[in-house]
Structure 1
Amino acid sequence: MTSEAVTPPVADRRPLTRTHHGDAVSDPYEWLRAKDDEDVIGHLEAENAYTDERTAHLEELRGRLFDEIKGRTLETDLSVPSRRGHWWYYGRTVEGKQYGINCRAPISDPDDWTPPVLSPETEVPGEQVLLDGNVEADGHDFFSLGSLDVSNDGTRLLYGVDVAGDERYTLRIRDLATGDDLPDVVENTSSGAVFSPEGRHVVYTTVDDAWRPDTVWLHEVGTDAASDQAIFTEPDERYWVGAGFTRSDRYLVIGVGSSITSEEFLVPADDLTSEPRSVWPRREGVEYSLTHAVVDGEDVLYILHNDGALDFELVRVAASDPTGDRHVVLPHLPGRRLLDASAYRDWAVVEYRRDGLARVGILDYATDEVREIGFDEPLYAVGASGSSEWAPPVIRLGYASFTTPGTVYDLEVATGELLLRKSQPVLGGYDPADYGQERVWAVADDGTRIPVSLVWKRSFGEPGGSPRPLHLYGYGSYEHSIEPGFSVARLSMLDRGVIFAIAHVRGGGEMGRQWYEEGKLLHKRNTFTDFVAVGRHLVAEGYTSPDRLVAEGGSAGGLLMGAVANLAPDLFAGILAGVPFVDALTTILDPSLPLTVIEWDEWGDPLHNADVYAYMKSYTPYENVQEGVRYPRILAVTSLNDTRVLYVEPAKWVARLREVGADALLKCEMVAGHGGVSGRYNSWRERAFELAWLLDVMGLAEND
């Protein structure tokens, strides 16, 4: 039983009027944006206290769920070693410790590419601890690594740490012979810093006031950061900047990109202060990425692009004249969305999507043919890990499905043989045969077929015909695909009879670039109506019923959750919205807020375009909370230090929902970022909290 009598906090109404395109809007809760105001902090703390009281009856269930997650996880474990130079690199986890430990061990045979089979109970000869996250996190409530790199000669470690959750990292360099940090300290960097090939320099990026990575810097090891040199700055606020070296160590590549346009620059790795050279000058709407190879003794670039090729094309050009003749390697093929090409000395790895599933293939430089790696399951997720070695005989692959735990393979390229290196243990007698998975299709309002991935426990019967509790997940933005991967925490739901489903709605990337285009800008409502169509299909086909159907999404998927709560409040019993982008119009109207200008390519520019303004206002959740509607139960989870979706959005949304009588809860982590709390045990407890709430909504908590 929930504690219905507990009184929820009531946010003060302090109306603030904004006017755009002749439309005046009074916003009573915008004052909650003042993060440093003691009234705001007091309100958030009151919300947390209220949520604690309203969910106190679930404490035992949360404990059981946490114990189940913990009990199925091999807490003391090691990852599969990856080779780099003269060392095997791997990670350790230790029972009782929140964070991973980065280690390495020497390679005894330079011709040996078979990773050693490591056991937690056995000492690894010559093991060296590079960085222990538990030591680095000591004294901090939050800890996250944003950069981790070892110099090519293996003597130094570069690492970047965030202890607030705001994604600004402090870089340090460690001498691996002594274990001591050098005096070098670089504050307020972005993620992804790397050593230069010779190890004398560090390349890193910093962000501007809007949290946009905009400048690439060169730091000489052993010098004061005040003397660091800016080697590239992008002034256009629509573009992010990143930098890294080609696997061949021939070039530094500086990438500049928005949601729809990109440009890449080359800098010779042996002359890092030289002027960056544009590969293809940027053109609005044209995206490309490159990888460097040496084919028949010639420096070439393999470039993946969408210039006249909606689902992308792969071409090869001379590195010395990239705007010259293009050799088409993989032509545009509608329905085959090319995602990545990564060159090695003798071949390249190509990743793409077809029929809604990820694919990996090996590209032969001589014939331009791709040998696809096949898998038997109807649903799965696969990707190449990207070895840093230039000429390995094997490629490391990560594989999983709804029923197959995370699995590591090495593909022996010469023979095509898949060598199993590790299947992640799931303790407690897990048997994949106990669970079923399949893909079904729902039909959207405009006749478009929407793929839906399902997983369930077979002992409760095959899904369909008899309504069951169902947990429906969705995202649908930025061309991001939600993969049918494995989850230990999800087993706790499946074992209680819950069906789990992913609605692969438009705006995501599951079905190619057109799928994305049909769910963005002035087509964004398709994302929301697709999700509703999937929910209605699952009800109509007897998989579930509205009183047992719960929905979940996070970030842009949280916007989806808020939108469907307004569109179809009668369809769902409960909605879990993680770090939800529910006040999107207010955010996108303000170019001074973090990331706003960059987001105009995804959502449109309501500040300067009245049509975009009207369209966004028609769907943004905060703007469209309705009187006289019986909303499903809602739980919004956010973080005070989130720089991507500010805490104020769900705080305002929950306050507005309460005005119309909705049963809405807000849980705000006071020391965390966009990804939530840090530390695996903290993360498990957080997930147990959310799953317990979902089970309660579905009516399964009382019987647990």
Structure 2
Amino acid sequence: MTHPEPPVAERRPHTTEHHGRTRVDDYEWLREKESPEVVAHLAAENAHTEARTAHLADLRASIFDEIKARTRETDLSVPTRNRDHWYYARSFEGREYGASCRVPATGADDWTPPSPAEDCSADEPALPGEQVLLDLNELAEGHDFFSLGGSSISPDAALLAYSTDVVGDERYTVRIKDLATGELLPDEITGVLGGVTWDREGAHVYYTTVDDTWRADKIWRHTLGTTQDADELVHHEPDGRFWVGLGRTRSDRFLVIASGSKTTSEYRVLDADTPELGFRTFCERVEGVEYSLDHAVIGGQDRFLVLHNATGADFELSLAPIEPTPAEGWEPLIAHDPAVRLEDVDAFAGHLVVHQRSLGLTQLRILELGDEGVTEDYLVEFDEPVYTVGSGGNPNFHQPTVRLGYTTMAIPASVYDYDVRTRERTLLRRAPVLGGYDPADYEEHRLWATADDGERVPISIVARRGSREGVGGGTAPIPVLLYGYGAYETSIDPYFSIARLSMLDRGGAFAIAHVRGGGEMGRRWYDDGKLFAKQHTFSDFIACARHLVDTGWTTPERLVAEGASAGGLLMGAVANQAPGLFGGIVAGVPFVDVLTSMLDASLPLTVTEYDEWGNPEADPAVYDYIAGYSPYDNVTEQAYPPILAETSLHDTRVLYVEPAKWVARLRATAVEPDVLLRTEMSAGHGGVSGRYKAWHDRAFSLAWILDRMGLA
């Protein structure tokens, strides 16, 4: 089959020197985002990718239709109670975006969510008295890209502050809506990172802005009815390794400013009962000590819950007075346990909810509170061997239930209310999958691969039941998509996907390699996959791939690897280190030019990520280590599997230039390269906006993957 010739990026050598090392980069000129020549090159790459994948057009259309047919397009979420209203989200057939709505609650002790009508049309209320707070389709009208950064109801429930981004660069504009009249207040705040936080009185909102390197460095207070140039700078973080954020405790008593690097934390608190004291530092930063704060009432006393690693890497939960307190004054509530990673804690009037993980699985731990303190301490139990559980939608300090989210790779996202006293779990909703879907038709497994250094690496895998049955009995290898990330202590826990069914039902399997650099197995798992241990991330993934081949799950020809962002770095590294192990590789917004990015402190995120990757500009050993694995720098004259690289022009986290340069070097260096670059010209790091656009986007990738698996 004759393929069209790919675009050829001209070689224009750009030489740099660091620590006596000379480095020549032929494609750095592609960084000029505004250059017509660069834009034309990206357009040519898109045209080439479209031509090379034209034979998959019907398959892409089929996958899109399957996703659409399995999705209940006119749908709504389980209502969540916040003060005197129930809040929920709606989606509508034929519309890219949804709407946020609310109805009044009927009584102070009513914690049973109302049941909205699921078959009502877009023009009908789902519940009596429904008020539409935001219609995102109206806000998105006229824009190629739209993202809601956040929305927040004022304490008196009369105003709604929300933020929007219509470019994809994650710089949001905040507006405030009068919910009685539907009119917008004149207040407009630009350049905001995310959303805003109200003070307890509802007279001010706090927000965060970023510096030139896209580091969140300033907290501001805006007084309603004034212009942005009159806003008060509340806190500025000058250390380039630290970023800041602000929130309000569930009890509504404290505003909390967090300053954090990858390894160190510092919190400032404002007590709404004594606002004249201003923000006070709870415990000054100590290098290597991370902690977080929440407010609880335990044994009749106001206390701070301090989740910290001062006594052990996997964190301890302690109590402290609601005043500045050094670590020596923290009293253990849950002692450090190296087998259990404590990740978060939520405080309520009658109980605490601790988010933890053990043996690679998420867990929820309930501590019931009585007059004398903790009266019960237990785990919420589930039956499935591989699952993900968490809590969310719990804004009320005095609520007696905990809203849980639960899923497996075969069970769609499920919402429960859990009564902490009776331990009764009530299923409120399971995300519908139309067309007669049955989780029992799929099998899930937890496998363990052995890494080069003997470490056991978990793998979660799902396949359609019976897909491995061989002729005459036994099992036969099937195509597998192996996904990985492995950075920032981010855990890729088992999750359900409607789009994935289009692959599973064609005979493929989906697996997650829980490699080091993530947090699945505790803090040690993260520490063993960063800085000078980063190679473990790559060798773990390769070990997982080999395990799937050696145990008969698949063959190299039918094994496709996928990862995005830092997971795209993983893809680039394994492509260099084990190219013969994969039949295809998908790299989404891939961080593949690590050395160039980490050498430039002016780029977004570079300085704040020295604790993750190291500082190659300051340390020659770091320079050499990164140079040894950076995908772009290690492209060699060897045969590579087919590669699909996907990026976005307005991505501020991983610039489009990284995959553009990588593809150019692969084309110029590899043996008979089969490499495609696809750039979204109106999107950011998260890809396109709008659910139908997102479905088309995923259908494109899945069609390419299925083609590589031999299932097209």
After TM superposition, the score normalised by the length of structure 1 is 0.98
Secondary structure of 2:194's counterpart equals: coil
Secondary structure of 2:540's counterpart equals: helix
Question: Where does 1:417-436 land on structure 2 (aligned, <5 Å)?
Answer: 417-436=424-443
Question: How big is the shift at 1:111?
Answer: 1.8
Question: Where does 1:141-160 land on structure 2 (aligned, <5 Å)?
Answer: 141-160=144-163
User: What residue in structure 2 maps to residue 94 of structure 1?
Assistant: 92
What CA distance in whole angstroms lies between the structure 2 residues aligned with 1:278 and 1:4?
67
Question: How big is the shift at 1:223?
Answer: 1.1
What CA distance in whole angstroms lies between the structure 2 residues aligned with 1:390 and 1:221?
26
Secondary structure of 1:618's counterpart equals: helix
Change in 2 beyond 3 A, CA 1:504/1:4: farther
Is the aligned partner of 1:636 residue 2:645? Answer: yes
User: What residue in structure 2 maps to residue 350 of structure 1?
Assistant: 354
Is the aligned partner of 1:229 residue 2:232? Answer: yes
What CA distance in whole angstroms lies between the structure 1 residues aligned with 2:536 and 2:300?
50
On the 8 A contact 2:368/2:420 being kept in 1, the answer is no
Secondary structure of 2:47's counterpart equals: helix
One-letter code aligned to 1:135: E
Question: How big is the shift at 1:658?
Answer: 0.4
Question: How big is the shift at 1:320?
Answer: 2.4
User: What residue in structure 1 maps to residue 118 of structure 2?
Assistant: 120
What CA distance in whole angstroms lies between the structure 2 residues aligned with 1:231 and 1:43?
45
> How far does the alpha carbon of each residue in 1:465-510 deviate from its partner, in whole angstroms, 9 at most, with x for none?
4221111000111111111111001111000110111111111111
> How far does the alpha carbon of each residue in 1:57-96 deviate from its partner, in whole angstroms, 9 at most, with x for none?
1000000000000100000001000001111000000000
State the aligned residue count.
698
Alignment partner for residue 610 of structure 1, among 614, 620, 636? 620
One-letter code aligned to 2:708: V
User: What residue in structure 2 maps to residue 452 of structure 1?
Assistant: 459
On the 8 A contact 2:264/2:289 being kept in 1, the answer is yes
Is the aligned partner of 1:318 residue 2:321? Answer: yes
Secondary structure of 1:18's counterpart equals: strand
What CA distance in whole angstroms lies between the structure 2 residues aligned with 1:626 and 1:45?
26
Unaligned runs of 5+ in 1: none
What CA distance in whole angstroms lies between the structure 1 residues aligned with 2:512 and 2:683?
27
One-letter code aligned to 1:167: E
User: What residue in structure 1 maps to residue 701 of structure 2?
Assistant: 690
What CA distance in whole angstroms lies between the structure 2 residues aligned with 1:672 and 1:321?
44
> How far does the alpha carbon of each residue in 1:339-388 deviate from its partner, in whole angstroms, 9 at most, with x for none?
00111112111000011100011123413752210000001111010511
What CA distance in whole angstroms lies between the structure 1 residues aligned with 2:88 and 2:171?
26
User: What residue in structure 2 maps to residue 10 of structure 1?
Assistant: 8
Is the aligned partner of 1:522 residue 2:522? Answer: no
User: What residue in structure 1 maps to residue 290 of structure 2?
Assistant: 287
On the 8 A contact 2:483/2:513 being kept in 1, the answer is yes
What CA distance in whole angstroms lies between the structure 2 residues aligned with 1:652 and 1:48?
15
Alignment partner for residue 196 of structure 2, among 185, 193, 196? 193
> How far does the alpha carbon of each residue in 1:423-465 deviate from its partner, in whole angstroms, 9 at most, with x for none?
1110011111110001011100111111111100013136984
Secondary structure of 1:136's counterpart equals: helix
What CA distance in whole angstroms lies between the structure 2 residues aligned with 1:694 and 1:51?
14
What CA distance in whole angstroms lies between the structure 2 residues aligned with 1:652 and 1:28?
9
Secondary structure of 1:41's counterpart equals: helix
User: What residue in structure 2 maps to residue 541 of structure 1?
Assistant: 551
Is the aligned partner of 1:586 residue 2:590? Answer: no
Structure 1 window deviating more from structure 2 (167-176 vs 313-322): it is 313-322
User: What residue in structure 2 maps to residue 403 of structure 1?
Assistant: 410
Is the aligned partner of 1:333 residue 2:333? Answer: no
- RMSD of Structure 2 on Structure 1 (CA): 1.3
User: What residue in structure 2 maps to residue 140 of structure 1?
Assistant: 143
One-letter code aligned to 2:463: W
One-letter code aligned to 1:247: R
Secondary structure of 1:542's counterpart equals: coil
On the 8 A contact 2:346/2:352 being kept in 1, the answer is yes
User: What residue in structure 2 maps to residue 219 of structure 1?
Assistant: 222
Change in 2 beyond 3 A, CA 1:368/1:329: farther
One-letter code aligned to 1:286: V
User: What residue in structure 2 maps to residue 477 of structure 1?
Assistant: 487
Question: How big is the shift at 1:273?
Answer: 7.5
Question: How big is the shift at 1:284?
Answer: 1.0
Alignment partner for residue 51 of structure 2, among 44, 50, 53? 53
Question: How big is the shift at 1:250?
Answer: 1.2
> How far does the alpha carbon of each residue in 1:587-610 deviate from its partner, in whole angstroms, 9 at most, with x for none?
001001011001110011111011
What CA distance in whole angstroms lies between the structure 1 residues aligned with 2:347 and 2:393?
10
Alignment partner for residue 690 of structure 2, among 676, 679, 682? 679
Secondary structure of 1:526's counterpart equals: helix
User: What residue in structure 1 maps to residue 378 of structure 2?
Assistant: 371
Secondary structure of 1:302's counterpart equals: strand
Alignment partner for residue 263 of structure 1, among 254, 261, 266? 266
Question: How big is the shift at 1:272?
Answer: 5.7
On the 8 A contact 2:12/2:26 being kept in 1, the answer is yes
Question: Where does 1:58-73 land on structure 2 (aligned, <5 Å)?
Answer: 58-73=56-71
Structure 1 window deviating more from structure 2 (60-69 vs 105-114): it is 105-114
What CA distance in whole angstroms lies between the structure 2 residues aligned with 1:495 and 1:274?
61
Question: How big is the shift at 1:268?
Answer: 2.2
Secondary structure of 1:167's counterpart equals: coil
One-letter code aligned to 2:559: L
Is the aligned partner of 1:600 residue 2:598? Answer: no
On the 8 A contact 2:86/2:105 being kept in 1, the answer is yes
User: What residue in structure 1 maps to residue 105 of structure 2?
Assistant: 107
What CA distance in whole angstroms lies between the structure 1 residues aligned with 2:144 and 2:659?
23
What CA distance in whole angstroms lies between the structure 2 residues aligned with 1:161 and 1:423?
29
Question: How big is the shift at 1:195?
Answer: 1.4
Structure 1 window deviating more from structure 2 (165-174 vs 412-421): it is 412-421
What CA distance in whole angstroms lies between the structure 2 residues aligned with 1:270 and 1:219?
20
On the 8 A contact 1:574/1:634 being kept in 2, the answer is yes
Structure 1 window deviating more from structure 2 (179-188 vs 264-273): it is 264-273
Structure 1 window deviating more from structure 2 (578-587 vs 292-301): it is 292-301
One-letter code aligned to 1:340: D
What CA distance in whole angstroms lies between the structure 1 residues aligned with 2:329 and 2:216?
33
> How far does the alpha carbon of each residue in 1:575-626 deviate from its partner, in whole angstroms, 9 at most, with x for none?
0000000001100010010110011100111110111100000000000000
Structure 1 window deviating more from structure 2 (22-31 vs 314-323): it is 314-323
What CA distance in whole angstroms lies between the structure 1 residues aligned with 2:275 and 2:605?
29
On the 8 A contact 2:281/2:324 being kept in 1, the answer is no
One-letter code aligned to 1:664: V
What CA distance in whole angstroms lies between the structure 1 residues aligned with 2:2 and 2:710?
16
One-letter code aligned to 2:61: G
Secondary structure of 1:456's counterpart equals: strand
What CA distance in whole angstroms lies between the structure 1 residues aligned with 2:233 and 2:8?
49
What CA distance in whole angstroms lies between the structure 1 residues aligned with 2:668 and 2:304?
58
Alignment partner for residue 257 of structure 2, among 249, 254, 259? 254
What CA distance in whole angstroms lies between the structure 2 residues aligned with 1:586 and 1:73?
42
Question: How big is the shift at 1:571?
Answer: 0.4
Secondary structure of 2:283's counterpart equals: coil
Is the aligned partner of 1:173 residue 2:176? Answer: yes
What CA distance in whole angstroms lies between the structure 2 residues aligned with 1:349 and 1:121?
35
Question: How big is the shift at 1:308?
Answer: 2.8
Alignment partner for residue 711 of structure 2, among 689, 700, 703? 700
On the 8 A contact 2:258/2:266 being kept in 1, the answer is yes
Equivalent pairs: percent with the same residue? 56
Is the aligned partner of 1:441 residue 2:457? Answer: no
What CA distance in whole angstroms lies between the structure 2 residues aligned with 1:270 and 1:276?
12
